Amino acid sequence: MKPKHLTILALSILALSLFGYKASKPIIRNDFKKYFDLYDADGSFVLYDQKNNEYTFYNREQSTQAFTPASTFKICNSLIGLETGVIKNENYVLPWDSIKRRFIWDTDTDLKTAYKNSTVWYYQELARRVEGQQMKYWLDKAHYGNADTSGGIDKFWLSGGLRISPQQQIDFLRRLHDNKLPFSQRSVDIVKKIMIQYDTLDYVIRAKTGWGDEPERFIGWYVGYVEKGDNVYYFSTCMQTRGKDDRYIAAARKAITFDILDDLGIVMK
């Protein structure tokens, strides 16, 4: 075999060893636009059906466009905090700095509560304790979005350079579920536990919201996965408001997602 062919083969094997996933047959659902229109919003939706190895897209073109991850980065930030020992476990408390922000944030807080309440200051302090060099190392190693930490160690995922696309969110979640991220099983297990938002007899949903601010609009994320029977359904909803006066539709991120999951017969509303 020629050296050039050997190089191509080696790169192919490396890619499969890193991610272990083959291309999936896409299903395009342009009719999902109606769910965004209900809330006067724009955006995209991606779903990956693990058992059937199928992707479903609404606005597929946008699914490769990168946005600020905002609070969806709390998934990766939690993993890094645990892996570096900055946070010992889900019960590890950081003291409130006495700056008033929101009522539910204004108290000493542990990891599981900070994740549930999306407590920004907790994760900012976590990131400061991890420090820039280690943070960059783990973002690169986990292949998280563009792994850009510019803009400040405590705000690079909010107003700095970090960007991630809806499809990259799905890829990260798949590797999280399948234990293929470069973190210890202990760290992964703790994060999976704090990610649980719904635990019913029929399914478990592990997820995270995110809310980003752009000059002309707001960005709303809802990403996660549904464990149902012998299958896992990964979803990534990226919603954009039509202007800056409609922050009241923040709840629409989840509403749109559940409308679509109901339409697909995965989760009944």
Is 9 inside any structural domain?
no
Domain count, the chain: 1
Compute the Cα dihedral for 244, 246, 248, 253 and give only its sign: negative
Is 8 inside any structural domain?
no
Which CATH number covers residue 169? 3.40.710.10
Q: 60-83 burial string, b = 16+ CB within 10 Å, else e?
A: bebbeeebbbbbbbbbbbbbbbbb
Banded pLDDT at 25 (limits 50, 70, 90): confident
- Cα-based distances in Å from 93 to 29, 178, 211, 242: 44, 29, 24, 38
Quick check: is 236 catalytic? no
Banded pLDDT at 8 (limits 50, 70, 90): very low
Catalytic: which of 44, 63, 71, 78?
Answer: 71
Is 268 inside any structural domain?
no
Q: Which domain holds residue 94?
A: 24-263
Is 142 inside any structural domain?
yes
Is 206 inside any structural domain?
yes
Is 47 inside any structural domain?
yes
Banded pLDDT at 203 (limits 50, 70, 90): very high
Share of the chain above pLDDT 70, in %: 91
Question: What are the backbone angles phi and psi of residue 207, rounded to the nearest 5°?
Answer: -160, 175
Residue-averaged pLDDT of the chain: 92
pLDDT digits (tens, 9 = 90+) for 131-169: 999 999 999 999 999 999 999 999 999 999 999 999 999
What amino acid occupies position 166? P
Is 114 inside any structural domain?
yes
Q: What is the pTM of this model?
A: 0.90
Per-residue pLDDT for 32 more than 60? Answer: yes
Is 12 inside any structural domain?
no
